[in-house]
Amino acid sequence: MSDSLGSVGLVSTERVVVGTDDDPLVLASGARIAPVEIAYETYGALSPARDNAVFVAHALTGDAHAAGWHEGAHRPGWWDNLIGPGKALDTDRLFVVSANLLGGCSGTTGPSSPNPATGQAYGPDFPLLDMADLVTAHRRLLDHLGIDRLHGAVGGSLGGMQVLEWALQEPERIDRAVLVAASSRLTTENIAFSAVARAAILEDPDFHGGRYAEHGVAPRHGLKVARMMAHITYVSGQSLADKFGHRRDTSGAAKQLAADFEVEHYLQHQGESFLDRFDALSYLHLTRPMDYFDPFGAHPDVVPSTRFRLISFDTDWRFPTAHSLRIRDRLLERGVAVDHTEIASPWGHDSFLLEPPGYHELVRSFLH
């Protein structure tokens, strides 16, 4: 559907300092960070009344480039099928803001940023983050843009968790919230998957206690394995079977211990390509807040004025529909307006990035 709709065209990532020595970013732990820079992009035009802004919160390995094209790029932003003229986030009507997360590695301050105390990268000295801290940084971005209230906030996976936290932190700031394939508390299994991914990084000989930059290396093997394993949880068993089956790259050849099946080579490619765009410490710092996330416990008495639209997918086994139902039930207990729909999709957790039938229509109608 969106192929016939418009693109926001060429875009560029902007940066703004939202934390200074005089006004540092204060984290939930009490730690203070300054300077803090945020990378962000905007699409569409802010209305004179400043009442048409929609914030897009990205998932674990996303960035600020959600839509349109960067000069010389071979692919558009990661949510280009959702954002643009005539699309679900219609930039003819809406002013869309997308920003890279605190702790990230795509322009926003994170472990690979210079530590003003040493002049070197923060490395392992970067403070541990809470989900609340990710929201605090983006709240400052909205203040910089002069946006007091959001018409909407939309996020998938970790992005949806941020939106939920934000609505409970500032119960009057977001009119409509769309949470797609999100969770309000990880299962033990979820934490276990992340634990294995982190162990692959932490136990890589090139990790050097997080000071790998000082040694001129990076824990590439560990990060690659972490990405390979995580990617399996983002897709469905059926989608892997349909795409690869039991086909081998060396069909007819002798059995071997090295990668042989097509699905193995696919995962190898996913792991290798990830190394070009992500930092190992950012991966550690952004997965950990998800493990501790419990917004209804942290904000036991908050009743947001926000209206919620929850969307889950029937083949998502990373954050299955039960996670969305938990959010729904907790919100209903507080008298908050909330609707939930489970969408049929063959693609598992990654469905939030794609276009299974009915998904974008739900987002579009809710934001209207």
Where residue 243 sits, what CATH number does that domain have?
Answer: 1.10.1740.110
Asked, for residue 257, whether it belongs to a domain, the answer is yes
Same domain, 204 and 259: yes
Q: Answer yes or no: are the C-beta atoms of 99 and 39 closer than 8 Å.
A: yes
**How far is it, in rounded angstroms, from Cα 248 to Cα 145?**
53
Nearest to 168 by CA among 141, 132, 196: 132
pLDDT in tens, the chain (368 residues): 344 578 999 999 999 999 999 999 999 999 999 999 999 999 999 999 999 999 999 999 999 999 999 999 999 999 999 999 999 999 999 999 999 999 999 999 999 999 999 999 999 999 999 999 999 999 999 999 999 999 999 999 999 999 999 999 999 999 999 999 999 999 999 999 999 999 999 999 999 999 999 999 999 999 999 999 999 999 999 999 999 999 998 766 788 999 999 999 999 999 999 999 999 999 999 999 999 999 999 999 999 999 999 999 999 999 999 999 999 999 999 999 999 999 999 999 999 999 999 999 999 999 98
**How far is it, in rounded angstroms, from Cα 159 to Cα 97?**
13
Asked, for residue 208, whether it belongs to a domain, the answer is yes
185 annotated as ligand-binding = no
Asked, for residue 17, whether it belongs to a domain, the answer is yes
Active site residues: 157, 316, 349
Q: What residues are paired with 32 via a beta bridge?
A: 26
**How far is it, in rounded angstroms, from Cα 285 to Cα 290?**
10
Same domain, 92 and 165: yes
Q: Which of 235, 262, 285 is the last residue of a domain?
A: 285
pTM of the model: 0.96
Same domain, 116 and 239: no
149 annotated as ligand-binding = no
Asked, for residue 22, whether it belongs to a domain, the answer is yes
Q: Which of 285, 307, 324 is the last residue of a domain?
A: 285
Asked, for residue 13, whether it belongs to a domain, the answer is yes
Asked, for residue 291, whether it belongs to a domain, the answer is no
Same domain, 165 and 17: yes
What Rg, from alpha-carbon coordinates, does the chain have? 20
Asked, for residue 307, whether it belongs to a domain, the answer is yes
Asked, for residue 72, whether it belongs to a domain, the answer is yes
- Kind of pairing between the strands at 95-99 and 53-57: parallel
Question: Could you list the residue range(s) of the whole structural domain that residue 10 is in?
Answer: 2-189+298-367
Same domain, 32 and 127: yes
